[in-house]
Amino acid sequence: MNLATASTLEVTWQDNSAGNTERENDFLQILVAIEEEDISIFVENAAKRSDAAYTVNLPINFQNKPLHIWMAFRTEGGEMASNSQYAGTVS
């Protein structure tokens, strides 16, 4: 995970679907929060698990600030979701 530019956050993950087509089609959910502020954005169905990467376009008020990121996956049909995992911070 890194800030490619001030306005873009590149998120990567390991595709752990092991060829299971149902898991390959799970959708990534991303929460980005500004440190010490009550502001966050939530990106639903950002990418499929099998994509293993996604670029978040950051609003202007998120740029050049420390950000905390959480990630989770939801099934393609939306009936189940994983627990969110703290992915770290970038600044």
Q: Tell me: the pLDDT tens digits for 37-89?
A: 999 999 999 999 999 999 999 999 999 999 999 999 999 999 999 999 999 99
Q: What is the pLDDT of residue 17?
A: 85
Half-sphere exposure of 47 (CA within 13 A, CB side): 16
Q: What is the pLDDT of residues 13-24, one digit of tens each?
A: 999 888 888 889
- pLDDT at site 19: 81
Report CA torsion sign: 74, 75, 77, 79.
negative
Q: Is 25 exposed, middle or buried (0-12, 13-18, 19+ CB in 10 A)?
A: middle
Find the mean pLDDT for residues 12-37: 92
The enclosing H or E element of 49 equals none
